[in-house]
Amino acid sequence: MKYYITTPIFYPNSSPHIGTAYTTVAADALARYHRLLGDKVHFLTGTDENAQKIVRTAEEHGTDPKIYVDGVVERFKELWAALDISNDDFIRTTEERHQKVVQQIFTKLYEQGDIYKSEYAGWYCTPCETFWLENKLIEGKCPNGDCCRDVELLKEESYFFRLSKYQDTLLQYIAEHPDFIQPSSRRNEMLRFIEGGLEDLCVSRTTFQWGIKVPFDPKHVVYVWLDALINYISALGYPDGENYQRYWPADVHIMGKDIVRFHAVIWPIILLALDIPLPKVIYGHGWYLTKEGGKISKSRGNVQDSFELIQRYGSDAIRYFLLREMQVGSDGTYSEDNVVERLNSDLANDFGNFVSRSLAMVVKYREGIIPRPGQDGKLEQELKELSQEIKNSVEKRLGVFDLASALEEIWRFVARCNKYVDETAPWSLAKHEDQRERLDTVLYTFMECIRIMAILTAPFMPGLPSRICRLLGLDEGLIRWEETDQWGILEPGTRVEKGEPLFPRIDISQYLNVGETKRVDEDQTMDQNINQTQVQTETNEFTLSPEPTPTPEFEPIKEEISIDEFAKLDLRVAKVLSAERVAKTDKLMKLEVEVAGVVRTVVSGIAKHYAPEDLVNKYVVLVANLKPTKLRGITSQGMILAASQGEVLEVLIVNKDLPGGARVK
Ligand code: MSP
């Protein structure tokens, strides 16, 4: 069976982030699953480079668009490599192989009357690269709820694509192919949208030159969405390339919910007009949002370096997190502490622990040699039945692109295996010579469970099979999907290795905002806030020194710490939005500060040294991962840094143009 799967092509106007990575990781897991099934897979991703916003961004960077995108495209490729993405092709829409197909299709549609010349008068949203009619705008802004940005008035000669002509054919197609748009919530949205009436679409622009020229009228460039959608066939060598013959129609186009509309309307209509079969499935997943429910975006300053994350936790763990947290039909929440939580509970505790425990027992009780099993008991029978049930349900769920619940099912098997260890209690069996054969059976079953887990998780965490095979002394070629519910594959007599833990537990306080800082009482925190030096110098006597310029008595330097310990501190620039004195104390000031797009309240012991208005609009340094504490009934979410000696105290102010949220290191 052939299996052609695509991701959207990404705008290389900025580097990819962990949210954008989701689509590609999801497509990769499906591609790997189909390869394991033995399908002939073609997996395509790439970049959408002819957008107007690319020109804008390149201008902002004072560089040429092509030079600019060349740099960003490399970042995409590096990220996909770091995440073990196994794409078979990477298409860039600035490549000739793509441009010539777009020009050919544009000409054909024009010649057959599906594209015609007229004048466009209306609005354009550059961030969304979308045309809007006046009556669709909301308070004069882009009506896309995720955007709401300013739109620009356009009045220019343009070519139009007759979407309206195909409206009924498309509706009928969707009605006859209930699986065409998935999940069903997106299908219903699309049906409502199309039933609302399709307007002909403006498909060329004349006010800038970046993009693919209309071949018979080169002052026009092709509208970026028409150009971009064609990548799915231009990359295959449409119309007569071998790959096109072999792989089209696509088995699935995976994408985020925001762009289903383009794929469910413009793309099928292009294909209908060209008399080309439609893709089998268009699948729209939700978005990864921040804990606060906001978008992950560079302009909001909440984009974490994906490479740093992968280096910290490993590609398998990041992939697991992304795939496990995004439930069908809804959005997922991304935060680094959630990643660590998942890693510690599902990967280190459940999965990793089973693997290390059972390998350790084979090493301890059988000198590391897989024993020959005896007769199965009831528990082994149950495990075998469960493996069949899990294989079927994982296949069913992956068949409808439900990766999160496929993982949930796999973890049902992992949990059962852990329970099997407790039920069989090999440590007790080992004490009785007459239980030797029973212990052999149990230990053999453990090893088979590990092998099965390696197959089940291989599409999601591609780094695991080779690591597990090494531990089990198994040839990696024996990781075959059809053997997920086959038992007795491992050769008794094979030597296993205990190895390193697959997923070491992460100390959450090492990197995060939820540090396991010791609880401190109110006064102590307040004193820390105003810096201990000052508390001490209230009783110091340096002013009594006979020296004309006395050397102040400094607090002794504290004991050495390692760079890792220092790295636990998350210091950030924070903008003071407002400040007021706390009632009934002359020491405390309450500040509202903005850090990484979030407003926090901080109570600080600086009121004797500053008037509130002195600090407003200043950029201070915040210890951002200090456990919140209550001071005079107010929850203080962090501490601001100040230098002090004697009576003097000065809050550290950052004077360069750095936004609230910038790291201090
Ligand atoms: N260039 C168009 C697609 C053209 S396809 C013919 C585009 N590019 S994009 O770079 O803006 O988005 C690419 C994909 O990333 C989309 O599927 C989008 O939904 C997805 N995501 C962007 N941010 C995301 C999250 N925070 N979470 C999950 N997916 C997100 O649109």
- In whole angstroms, give the CA distance from residue 361 to residue 376: 19
Q: Which tens digit of pLDDT belongs to each residue from 78-135?
A: 999 999 999 999 999 999 999 999 999 999 999 999 999 998 888 899 888 888 888 8
Task: State both tokens at 460.
Answer: 């999601």
Taking the centre of ligand 1 as the mean of its atom positions, its distance from the CA of residue 136, in whole angstroms, is 23
Grade residue 15 by pLDDT with cuts at 50, 70 and 90: confident
Question: How are beta strands 648-651 and 642-645 bridged, if at all?
Answer: antiparallel
Contacts of 547 by beta carbon, 8 Å cutoff, 6+ apart? none
Pick the CATH number of 108-205 from 2.60.40.10, 1.20.120.1200, 1.10.238.10, 2.170.220.10: 2.170.220.10
Domain 563-663 has CATH 3.40.50.1820: no
Q: What is the per-residue pLDDT across 530-572, written as a single tens digit (0 to 9) for each?
A: 222 222 222 222 222 223 333 455 666 777 887 878 888 999 9
Name residues whose C-beta falls within 8 Å of residue 282's C-beta, 6 or more positions apart in sequence.
Answer: 180, 181, 182, 186, 252, 253, 255, 260, 263, 264, 267
Residue having the nearest C-alpha atom to atom 12 of ligand 1:
10
Q: Which of 6, 17, 23 to mutate to test the pocket of ligand 1 (most atoms within 8 A of CB)?
A: 23
pLDDT at position 302, please?
Answer: 67
CA gyration radius for the chain?
A: 31
Residues carrying CATH 2.170.220.10, the chain: 108-205
Closest CA to 228 of 245, 214, 211: 211
Distance between CA 73 and CA 75 in Å, rounded? Answer: 5
> Which residue bears the tokens 């080169």?
218
What's the confidence (pLDDT) of residue 282? 98
Split at pLDDT 50, 70, 90, the class of 517 is: very low
pLDDT tens track for 419-456 = 999 999 999 999 999 999 999 999 999 999 999 999 99
Mutate to test the pocket of ligand 1, among 6, 9, 13, 20 (most ligand atoms within 8 A of CB): 20
- CATH for 2-94+231-285? 3.40.50.620
Q: Which residue has the tokens 């995720």?
A: 146
Domain with CATH 1.10.730.10 in the chain: 343-495
| Cβ proximity of 212 and 225 under 8 Å | no
Q: Judging by beta carbons within 10 Å of its beta carbon (0-12, 13-18, 19+), is residue 578 exposed, middle or buried?
A: middle
Is 288 close to ligand 1, i.e. is its CB under 6 Å away? yes
**Per-residue pLDDT tens for 40-61?**
999 999 999 999 999 999 999 9
Note the pLDDT tens digit of each residue in 456-493: 999 999 999 999 999 999 988 778 999 999 999 999 99
For ligand 1, mutation pick of 47, 254, 255, 270 (most atoms within 8 Å of CB): 255
- Report residue 541 as tokens: 């006597």
Query: What confidence tens digit (pLDDT) does each residue in 242-291 have?
Result: 999 999 999 999 999 999 999 999 999 999 999 999 999 999 999 999 88
Q: How many CB atoms lie within 10 A of CB 421?
A: 19
pLDDT at 120: 84
**pLDDT tens, 364-401?**
999 999 999 999 999 999 999 999 999 999 999 999 99
468 dihedral zone (left: phi>0; alpha: psi -120 to 50; beta): alpha
Quote the percentage of the chain above a pLDDT of 90. Answer: 69
Write down the pLDDT at residue 536.
26
Does residue 449 have a known ligand-binding role? no
Does the domain at residues 343-495 carry the CATH identifier 3.20.20.70?
A: no
340-368 pLDDT tens trace: 999 999 999 999 999 999 999 999 999 99
The two three-digit tokens of residue 162, written as one number: 């007759």
Residue 147 is labelled as binding a ligand: yes
Positive or negative CA dihedral for 45, 49, 52, 54?
A: positive
The string of pLDDT tens digits covering residues 289-325 is: 988 778 886 666 667 788 989 999 999 999 999 999 9
Q: What is the pLDDT of residues 138-151, one digit of tens each?
A: 988 998 887 889 99
Give the pLDDT confidence score for residue 383 in this predicted structure. Answer: 97
Find the 214 Cα to ligand 1 centroid distance in Å.
Answer: 26
- Report DSSP state, residue 554: P
Pairwise CA distance, residues 611 & 534, whole Å: 19
pLDDT of residue 518 exceeding 70, the answer is no
Residue limits of CATH 2.40.50.140 in the chain: 563-663
